[in-house]
Amino acid sequence: MAISTTPTQPLLLSALQRQPISHPPIWLMRQAGRYLPEYRALRANFPNFIEFCLTPDAATTATLQPLQRYNLDAAIIFADILTIPHALGHPVKFIEHQGPVVDLFTNLAQIDPLKHKIADLQRILAPVAQTVRQTRAALPAHQAVLGFSGAPFTLLCYLLDTKPSQGIPNLLKMQEESPQAILDLTDVMVTAITTYLHMQLAAGATAVQIFDSWAGLCPPNAWQTLVHQPLVRICQNIAASHPNTPVILFPRLASQQALLNLANDPTLPSTVAFSLGTEINLAWASQTLQPTRAIQGNLDPILMIGEAAPLRTAVTQMLNLAGPQPGYIVNLGHGLTPQTNPDRVTELVEQVHAWRAA
């Protein structure tokens, strides 16, 4: 297969544009994090996790740490999806061994003030744009810089319920009792996310990923209005200002049919790619989605904890399935865990870069 005609363009960008390339690029969700001793040392300087995310020098260091160890094709900016609720006036605390706790949205009178917080968001999250600029300046042109945001539905999960992993009773109750309020909140999030992603792109991000980690918790009868349409609107907003910039959507735990409907929606810009959770069958995705949309994923992060051999077998299988067709990016189906063995990452990156289509 031909090598990309623009050698300085990041390999990740060529893959997202579904150009023929010699081998798929690789980056890993949560590639910066607690499995790296150098991350834990840096983190120890910041009792407050959000403050860490909003300190450009420290965040740039954390962003670059995995790229200093591994030959990855992209850096993902070190920040968190919860920076948006934080910037809109719902501060986030990270409690050790418990995860994030957002100052919850509890009554409808809190909606109107949120609508007037976009200028605050631009000011409070300006350090993230600075991290993008510093990261871009530190890396050679062939490595991509990815910006990211949470999606409206997932951010509402955290704004209304403390632990979405244990269910979203408050969100579901409000959706029953005041569906218009949930739509209004979703609109606020669409504006906030668009603004935040535009800031990251203006600062030099190659592409952006939108994490809808809890999309699978959305009731089927609300899927169109709370997940599908808001994601389409954000992608359209980005395409209007950055027509050639890819956007990667990660609607985790969505049904295969919902994913297919979204991918086939003619109003979704052609620059949109899909990151696949571990729940998705890669053979299906490669046959069904990959002819028209780039796909990314979906290695089980559990394999990064165990022995080398099962990882190698699973990666060979993935590469042989999706690697021969343009539009494939190697990644996990969810983030690296703190238990990850750093040696497994070395082996994975080497294997991907050595692979060629038969």
Which residues make up the interface to ligand CP3 (CB under 6 A)?
29-34, 43, 49, 76, 78-82, 94, 99-100, 148, 211, 213, 335
Residue number with CB closer to ligand CP3 (131 or 245): 131
Give the integer Cα–Cα distance in Å for 65 and 136: 14
Nearer to ligand CP3, 149 or 194 (CB): 149
Tokens of 194: 């668009």
Minimal distance in Å, beta carbon 129 to ligand CP3? 15
Closer CB to ligand CP3, residue 211 or residue 328?
A: 211
Nearer to ligand CP3, 70 or 211 (CB): 211
Nearer to ligand CP3, 99 or 243 (CB): 99
Specify the DSSP class assigned to residue 302: G
Burial group, residue 123, by CB count within 10 angstroms (0-12, 13-18, 19+): exposed
350 Cβ contact partners less than 8 Å away, ≥ 6 residues apart: 71
Q: Look up tokens 């907003």; give the residue.
A: 237
Nearest residue (beta carbon) to ligand CP3: 213
Looking at the Cβ atoms of 24 and 150, the one nearer to ligand CP3 is 150
CB of 109 to ligand CP3, least distance (A): 27
- DSSP, res 226: I
Please, are residues 164 and 223 in contact by the beta-carbon 8 Å criterion? no
Q: How many other β-carbons are positioned within 10 Å of the β-carbon of residue 19?
A: 18
- Cβ nearer to ligand CP3, comparing 79 with 321: 79
Nearest-approach distance from CB 100 to ligand CP3, in angstroms: 5
Residues 6+ apart with CB under 8 A from 126: 199
Q: Phi first, then psi: what are they for 61, rounded to 5°?
A: -60, -45
Q: How far is the CB of 159 from ligand CP3 (least distance, A)?
A: 12
Evaluate whether 340 touches 301 at the Cβ level (below 8 Å).
Answer: yes
Strand, coil or helix: what is 212?
A: strand
CB of 35 to ligand CP3, least distance (A): 10
Shortest distance, position 31 Cβ to ligand CP3, whole Å: 5
Shortest reach from residue 148's CB to ligand CP3, in Å: 5
175 and 149 in contact (C-beta within 8 Å)?
A: no
